[in-house]
Structure 1
Amino acid sequence: MNLFNKLPGFVQSQPGREQQVWQRLPAIGLWGTLLPLGLAGLNHLLAPNVAESSADAAALLLWDYTMFGVVVLHWTLMLTVAIGCFIVRVMKGPAYVADAYPLPTESEEPLTERRRT
């Protein structure tokens, strides 16, 4: 049984900008994750040894949370772009035909008359 019937004579669209973005997503994801985490690590290396109760420790922790939020935001944006690219790629793919659906036969009564009964 053939589940997908391709539409005969359909001309498939050429890939465009979505293909370029789709191919660059892994690198964008890697750099967008490593850069904020690297900045947080660099901040820890350059920060002097601070006591846990000082204001410097609170500022360092706030920076860590900010960088974590930037990473999560980046992942969310990447997921959104990836879903958009996937939808465009599917829509540009080959066209498929559904199984035939028998239409109702022509009737002598107008459609409004048939709805009332």
Structure 2
Amino acid sequence: MPLFQKLPGFQRAAPGLEQRIWRRLSGLLLWGTALPLLACACLWMASQMEAGAGAERALSLWMYGLLGFIMLHWSLWIALALGCFIVRVMKGPAYVADAYPLPEGPGLRPQD
């Protein structure tokens, strides 16, 4: 008996919104990470032109804010990717489960 035997006659569900999101996940991760890093680099270059403790403090606050945005973006991306993966698996083919014999004994049989 093969390890994964598909259920005969099962019809797969049509792909929906999860398929379109799944295809765009790599771009979402790339752009959602690259844009804040680019903004961080631009802010750093702009702060190099200014001198003073106030500019350095403002730059560090912006850097921490952008780092927090990147971490939030990654965690939301992981949740979205996990949700899409679960929907894709649920819409996939059905498989035949192995038979599980019921235990015999007093009080273990189903009521007639």
1: CA distance between counterparts of 2:103 and 2:46? 77
* Shift of residue 59, structure 1, vs aligned partner: 1.0
Indicate whether 1:50 and 2:43 are aligned: no
1: CA distance between counterparts of 2:29 and 2:107? 58
Residue of structure 2 equivalent to 1:61: 60
1: CA distance between counterparts of 2:80 and 2:19? 12
Amino acid at match of 2:35: L
1: CA distance between counterparts of 2:55 and 2:63? 12
Kindly report the root-mean-square deviation, in angstroms, between the aligned alpha carbons of the 2 structures: 1.9
Deviations 1:61-95 (A, max 9, x none): 11011111111110111010000000000000000
* Shift of residue 97, structure 1, vs aligned partner: 1.4
* Shift of residue 102, structure 1, vs aligned partner: 2.3
* Shift of residue 44, structure 1, vs aligned partner: 1.7
Larger of the two Rg values belongs to structure: 1
1: CA distance between counterparts of 2:29 and 2:95? 33
Deviations 1:5-64 (A, max 9, x none): 21111100011110100000011111101111111111122233324xx12211101101
Partner of 2:78, secondary structure, is helix
The number of equivalent residue pairs is 107
Indicate whether 1:85 and 2:78 are aligned: no
Question: What TM-score comes out, normalization by structure 1 length?
Answer: 0.82
The answer for unaligned runs of 5 or more in structure 2 is none
1: CA distance between counterparts of 2:38 and 2:103? 66
Partner of 1:25, secondary structure, is helix
